[in-house]
Amino acid sequence: MTYDADPSADFSRFRTYSWAYTAAPAGVNPLLTQRVKTAVESVLATRGYTQATSGEFAIGFTLGSRDRVEVSSLGTYGPYFRPWGGWGGYNQVDVRNITDGTLTIDIYDAASKAPVWHGTATQEVTSTTLSAEKVTAVVTAVLANFPPPAAAAK
């Protein structure tokens, strides 16, 4: 999980939030989008933030995935003597197709419409359906540093 924050932003004045958009982005599972929104709302509620029609900060998020191939050589095993000379062994290679899912949450100052916070998490996705519990865990991890630690101390 990584995050970035505007050091000049005054996070201590944020108490209410609104969504930067209401419709699910085209091509994104609307059920997954709703799970993310519900998880964000739950995490923010535990920190004392409330949703409002026109909040002091606005939240947006993106979901994405990327496929990659992972190749691992497990090394040589089973030494044997080759009849034509010399020792040999079997080399085992493991090839896996992996899908990495990425959740990015952006927070904007509603008054200036300027971005003030950005958090991202990427992890391997093993299923096309992500449970609400798994989504909540990822959202909690992304928002772990919101507000940023320096801003919380102000």
Each of the 154 residues of the chain gets a pLDDT tens digit; together they read 899 999 999 999 999 999 998 777 777 788 888 999 999 999 999 999 999 999 999 999 988 777 888 888 766 655 555 666 665 556 677 788 877 788 999 999 999 999 999 999 988 777 666 788 989 999 999 999 999 986 544 4
Q: Does domain 2-67+99-149 have CATH number 3.40.50.1460?
A: no
- In this prediction, residue 11 carries a pLDDT of 95
Q: How far is CA 30 from CA 22, 23, 59, 101, 147, in A?
A: 11, 9, 17, 16, 27
- In this prediction, residue 91 carries a pLDDT of 66
- In this prediction, residue 71 carries a pLDDT of 84
Residue ranges of the domains in the chain? 2-67+99-149
- In this prediction, residue 52 carries a pLDDT of 95
- In this prediction, residue 95 carries a pLDDT of 82
- In this prediction, residue 154 carries a pLDDT of 45
- In this prediction, residue 40 carries a pLDDT of 97
DSSP string covering 71-99: EEEEEEEEEEE-TTSSEEEEEEEEEEEEE
